[in-house]
Amino acid sequence: MKLKLLCCLLTSIIANKKLAVIHILVHLYLMYLFPLVALEIFLIFAFKQFDHNVCRYMRATGGSSRVMCDNVPGLVSRQRQLCHRHPDVMRAIGLGVAEWTAECQHQFRQHRWNCNTLDRDHSLFGRVLLRSSRESAFVYAVSSAGVVFAITRACSQGELKSCSCDPKKKGTAKDSKGSFDWGGCSDNIDYGIKFARAFVDAKERKGKDARALMNLHNNRAGRKAVKRFLKQECKCHGVSGSCTLRTCWLAMADFRKTGDYLWRKYNGAIQVVMNQDGTGFTVANKRFKKPTKNDLVYFENSPDYCIRDRDAGSPGTAGRVCNLTSRGMDSCEVMCCGRGYDTSRVTRMTKCECKFHWCCAVRCQDCLEALDVHTCKAPTSADWAAPT
């Protein structure tokens, strides 16, 4: 607890000195009031709408929801209102952050930009969000999808006051295999989408500039992506699985499916330009197809992400692990941008000489295995000076 407080305190100080003081006071006060309730988690609030590290209070009691919402930096007033009204939904969103962050990092694991932050930049996605790049499009879509997913799941688990399983999925219905009964709990994705739209989009509705239009488009694409993987699941009843009676419900697929889908959309993202009257955008290159609501769109070309550049949101690839035998994006050639790599030998424990013992166990020995790890060299000063 003390360690977390310290961690929270230090990062807050770095992020925002004034806020840190408020935070400490609020925290100490809460610890004093509710020693058990003041369980605090510290999250780097990856969520772009917050863009700052946030100390969240796990259990938002009546009194502390005000405290929690007022201390989330970067909320616009509409978002703060929603936070006050639905502290439990905010908590669900907060818990989802780690999940969609991990999904983003998984999808970009072999790339120069790996969805990681710059040191000392505590907004997880760093400054990539200041640009309207393809990566930014992905981040907006995946986090917006993540909000839908987190809220919908919390609904089904009965954690939210304002929603529950889909009330429309009742009675009997028909599909290609005949009629069935709705039963169990159908994921209430429409609620998740509605809340996510109200909350996530609130920030972009303030201004109507090009960047806001792009973000709104990608936010919507993200929300729609989750719904795409809503599948009907059924259970058969009746004598020996004859399936004379079926009960079905709608369930969201694993978030990985949404991540994989958005990754394909990222690779096929469409570059756009504002149209003449500034009310929307059109495809930048007339030879390419027009973006649909499912496509991701972006304005600016991405930097190469080779060297560290705060303004471009690039942490650079110095120190990144590369794969000597790969010929893809994670190869040492591509990852290190031709700067070369260092090799170090590391040893690790593995299970080996496993033998099967009658009956029924497999026993292994611990072996030390040596392997070479290649990491990209940092640019030399000459590289820095070279025009890019």
Interface residue list for ligand NAG (CB under 6 A):
323, 325-326
CB of 335 to ligand NAG, least distance (A): 11
The Cα-based distances of 4 to 1, 26, 202 in angstroms read: 5, 15, 31
Nearer Cβ to ligand NAG, position 226 or 335? 335
Exposed / middle / buried, residue 387 (Cβ in 10 Å: 0-12, 13-18, 19+): exposed
Please give the full DSSP string across 145-168, using - where no structure is assigned. HHHHHHHHHHHHTT--SS--S-TT
Dig out the tokens for 293 from the structure: 């609501």
Q: Which helix (H) or strand (E) holds 333?
A: helix 332-335
Min separation Cβ 138 and ligand NAG, Å: 22
Closest CA to 142 of 265, 299, 55, 270: 265
Q: Work out how close the CB of 331 gets to ligand NAG at its nearest, in angstroms, rounded to a whole number.
A: 8
Q: How many CB atoms lie within 10 A of CB 144?
A: 32
Give the Cα-Cα-Cα angle 250, 252, 258 (nearest 5 degrees): 145
- Select 236 or 371, whichever has its Cβ closest to ligand NAG: 371
- From 229, 226, 228, 222, select the one nearest 204 (Cα to Cα): 222
What is the secondary structure of 181-206 as a DSSP string?
Answer: EE-S----HHHHHHHHHHHHHTTTTS
State the minimum distance, in angstroms, from the CB of residue 357 to ligand NAG: 31
Closest to ligand NAG by CB, 292 vs 325, is 325
In eight-state DSSP terms, residue 17 is: H
Nearer to ligand NAG, 232 or 323 (CB): 323
Judged by beta carbon, residue 302 or residue 323, the one nearer ligand NAG is: 323
Give percent helix, percent strand, percent coil of the chain, each to the nearest 5. 40, 20, 35
Write the DSSP symbol of residue 311: G
Q: Distance (Å, rounded) from C-alpha 23 to C-alpha 40?
A: 12
In angstroms, what is the minimal distance from the CB of 220 to ligand NAG? 35
Q: Write down the least CB distance from residue 373 to ligand NAG, Å.
A: 9
25/3 Cα distance (integer angstroms): 16
CB closer to ligand NAG out of 116 and 326: 326
Going by C-alpha positions, the residue among 236, 230, 229, 231 that lies closest to residue 178 is 236
CB nearer ligand NAG, residue 309 or residue 330: 330
**Residue 223 vs 320, nearer CB to ligand NAG:** 320
Question: What is the closest distance, in whole angstroms, from the C-beta atom of residue 289 to ligand NAG in the complex?
Answer: 31
Q: With contact defined as beta carbons under 8 Å apart, do 179 and 192 qualify?
A: no
- Compute the least distance from the CB of residue 323 to ligand NAG, in Å: 4
Choice between 114 and 136, CB closer to ligand NAG: 114
Name the minimum Å distance from CB 105 to ligand NAG.
15
C-beta separation of 232 from 177 below 8 A: no
- Which residue from 24, 52, 19 is spatially nearest to 38, judged by alpha carbons? 24
- Residue with Cβ nearer ligand NAG (276 or 325): 325
Measured from the CB of residue 364, what is the shortest distance to ligand NAG in angstroms?
22
| Contact call for residues 75 and 56 (beta carbons, < 8 A) | no
Nearest-CA neighbor of 286 among 301, 300, 275? 275
